[in-house]
Amino acid sequence: MAMAMGVVVENTGMRISAKVDYAVRALIELALLKPEQVARAEDLATAQDIPRNFLLAVLADLRRSGIVASRRGQAGGWVLARPAEAVSVADVIRAVDGPLVSVHGVRPEAVRYEPSVAVVQRVWIAVRSSLREVLEEVTLADLARDDLPAAVAGRTHDPEVWQSR
C-alpha cells in the first residue's frame, strides 16, 4: 500500500482519507463566514456531521500549517488564517495527510528501484503531477462559491468519469 495525496493507493483503488474530507468540509464552512464571524468547533462538527474530537484534531493540524487560527474567549472559535483564495485543496491535504504522493512513506523521487522496474518511479511522479493539476488549482474560495476552475470542472463533464471501474 502506498500513500498518495491524502489518498491511499491500495489494491482497492484510491481513497480520500476521512481527515482530508473532514478538513475540506470544515474549511468550506469557514470560507462561507462573514469576515467578522468565527465558528465554534461544535458548530462545524454539527453542520457537517463530523465527530467533534476528530474535527478538533484536524483543526489542530490546520492551525499548525497556518490555514486556520483559533480565537479565544467567550466569542471565540475558528477562522481562516489566510484568504480562501490563497488556500488550495493541495495545501489542505499536505496539512492533514502529508505529501500528495508517497511510496511506502517516501516521496517518489527518493525511492530507488532496480533498473528493470525504474519506470515505475516515473509513473508515481506522473500521478503526483496529475494530482497537482487539479488539487493546486482548486481553492477554498472556489469550493465555497461552488464554482470550480474550468479545467477542473471540465474533467467532470464526461459521464464516463462518474462510473466506477
Under 8 Å between Cβ of 58 and 6: no
CA-to-CA distance for 17 and 108, rounded, in angstroms? 20
Looking at every residue in the chain, the average pLDDT score rounds to 90
Q: What is the C-alpha to C-alpha distance for residues 9 and 105, in angstroms, rounded to an integer?
A: 12
Average pLDDT over residues 147-159: 94
Percentage of the chain exceeding pLDDT 70: 91
End-to-end alpha-carbon separation of the chain, Å?
19
The DSSP symbol for 38 reads -
Q: According to the model, what pLDDT value does residue 14 have?
A: 57
Sign for the CA dihedral angle at 65, 68, 69, 73 comes to negative
Walk me through the domains of the chain, giving residue ranges and CATH numbers.
Answer: 2-162 (1.10.10.10)
Say yes or no to pLDDT of 4 above 70. Answer: no
For residue range 59-87, what is the model confidence (pLDDT) as tens digits? 999 999 999 999 988 888 999 999 999 99
